Structure 1
Amino acid sequence: MNLHLEKGKGKREKGKVKITGSKSETNRLLLLQALYPNLTLENTSNSDDSEVMSRALNSQLTIHNSQLIDVHHAGTAMRFLTSFFAIQEGKEVVLTGSSRMKERPIKILVDALNQLGAEISYEENEGFPPIKIKGKKLTQSKVSLPANVSSQYISALLLIAPKLKNGLELTLEGEITSIPYIKMTLALLNEIGVTTSFVGNKISVKSQFTIHNSQFTIESDWSSASYWYSIVALSEIGFQVTLSSYKENSLQGDSALVNIYQDFGVETTFNTDNSITISKERIHNSQLTTHNSQLNNSPDIAQTIAVTCFGLGIGCDLTGLHTLKIKETDRLEALKTELTKLGAEISVTNDSLHLKPNDLFKSGNSHPLEGCPKGGVATYQDHRMAMAFAPLALKVPVIINNAEVVSKSYPDFWNDLALVGIIGSEVN
Structure 2
Amino acid sequence: MDLLLESSVCNLQNVIRISGSKSETNRLLLLQALYPNIVLENSSDSDDSKVMIKALQSDEVLKDIHHAGTAMRFLTAFCTVQEGKEVILTGSSRMKERPIQILVDALRQLGALVEYEEKEGYPPLRITGKKIIKNKVSLKADVSSQYISALLLIAPKLENGLELTLEGSITSVPYIKMTLQLLNEIGVRASFEGNVIKVSHAEKIASRVITVESDWSSASYFYSVVALSAIGTEIKLSSYKQSSLQGDSILAEIYEELGVSTTFVDDSVIIKKENVSKKEINRNLNASPDIAQTIAVTCFGLGVGCHLTGLHTLKIKETDRLEALKNELGKLGASVSVTNDSLTLAPSSEINKNAHIKTYQDHRMAMAFAPLALKVPVVIEDAEVVSKSYTNFWEDLKSIGIIVNPI
Rounded to whole Å, the distance in 2 between the matches of 1:210 and 1:289 is 54
> 2:399 aligned with 1:381, yes or no?
no
Q: In the TM superposition, what is the alpha-carbon distance from 1:290 to its structure 2 partner? A: 1.5
Give the structure 1 partner of residue 286 of structure 2.
296
Question: Which residue of structure 2 aligns with residue 276 of structure 1?
Answer: 269
Amino acid at match of 1:171: T
> Which letter does structure 2 place at the counterpart of 1:20?
S
Q: Tell me which residue corresponds to 2:305.
A: 315
Q: Identify the residue that residue 216 of structure 1 maps to in structure 2.
A: 210
Aligned to 1:229: 223
Does the aligned pair in 2 maintain the 1:266–1:278 contact within 8 Å? yes
Equivalent residue, structure 2, for 1:30? 29
Helix, strand or coil for the counterpart of 2:257?
Answer: helix
Contact kept, 8 Å, 1:16 with 1:241, in 2: the verdict is yes
Q: Contact 1:12 / 1:420 at 8 angstroms: preserved in 2? A: no
Q: Is the CA contact 2:10–2:230 (under 8 Å) kept in the aligned structure 1?
A: no
The equivalences for 1:19-418 within 5 A come to 19-59=18-58, 62-63=59-60, 67-272=61-266, 274-284=267-277, 288-360=278-350, 368-370=351-353, 373=354, 376-418=356-398
Tell me the secondary structure at the aligned position of residue 147 of structure 2: helix
Asked if structure 1 preserves the Cα contact closer than 8 Å seen for 2:10 and 2:229, the reply is: no
Q: 2:276 and 2:179 mapped to 1: Cα distance?
A: 38
Q: Secondary structure at the match of 1:264?
A: coil
**What TM-score results when the alignment is normalised by the length of structure 2?**
0.99
Give the TM-score, by structure 1 length: 0.94
Once the 2 structures are TM-superposed, how far is the Cα of residue 12 of structure 1 from its aligned partner? 2.9
Match of 2:401 in 1: 421
The 2-side partners of 1:219 and 1:402 are apart by 29
Return 5+ residue gaps in structure 1 as ranges: 361-367
For the 8 Å contact 2:11–2:232, the answer to whether it is kept is no
In 1, the alpha carbon distance for the partners of 2:56 and 2:396 equals: 30
Structure 2: runs of 5+ lacking an equivalent: none
- Write the letter of the residue equivalent to 1:411: T
SS of residue paired to 1:236: coil
Alpha-carbon offset, residue 340 of structure 1: 1.0
Superposed CA deviations along residues 54-94 of structure 1, whole A, max 9, x for unmatched, are: 000011xx35xxx1100000000000000000000110000
Q: Which amino acid aligns with 2:285?
A: L
Kindly provide the amino acid, as one letter, of the partner of residue 43 in structure 1.
Answer: N
Determine the C-alpha separation between the residues in 2 that align with 1:208 and 1:35.
10
SS in 2 for 1:376: strand
Question: CA separation in 2, counterparts of 1:13 and 1:317?
Answer: 29
Give me the whole-angstrom Cα distance separating, in 2, the residues matched to 1:358 and 1:310: 7
- Tell me which residue corresponds to 1:364: none
SS of match in other structure, 1:153: helix
Deviation at 1:289, TM superposition (A): 2.4
Q: Matched residues in 1 for 2:248 and 2:279: separation?
A: 24
Q: Look up the match of 1:365.
A: none
> How far apart are the structure 2 equivalents of 1:325 and 1:223?
18
1:271 offset after TM fit, Å? 0.4
CA-CA distance at 1:11 after TM superposition: 4.9
Residue 13 in structure 1 maps to residue 15 in structure 2:
no
User: d(CA) in 1 for partners of 2:400 and 2:102?
Assistant: 44
Q: How many angstroms does 1:206 deviate by?
A: 0.4
| Partner Cα distance (1:227, 1:174) in 2 | 33
SS in 2 for 1:243: strand
How far apart, CA to CA, are the structure 2 residues paired with 1:255 and 1:289?
23
1:13 Cα deviation after fit: 3.4
Residues 375-410 of structure 1: per-residue CA shift (max 9 Å, x gap): 510000000000000000000110000000000000
Instruction: Provide the rounded CA distance (Å) in 2 between the counterparts of 1:124 and 1:13.
Output: 51
Distance in 2 separating the partners of 1:357 and 1:290: 8
Alignment identity in percent?
Answer: 68
Structure 2: distance between partners of 1:102 and 1:11: 44
How far has the Cα of 1:342 moved from its partner? 1.0
**Do the aligned partners of 1:295 and 1:318 also contact (CA within 8 Å) in 2?**
yes
Does the 8 Å contact 2:142/2:170 carry over to 1? yes
Shift of 1:359: 1.1
Secondary structure class of the residue paired with 1:198? strand
The one-letter amino acid paired with 2:50 is: E
Shift in Å, 1:282? 1.2
Q: Distance in 2 between matches of 1:70 and 1:81?
A: 11
Separation in 1, partners of 2:18, 2:118: 39
Is the contact made by 1:290 and 1:356 (CA closer than 8 Å) also made in structure 2? Answer: no
Residues 166, 207 of structure 1: 8 Å contact kept:
yes
Q: 1:173-206: per-residue Cα shift (whole Å, max 9, x none)? A: 1110000000000000001111111011100000
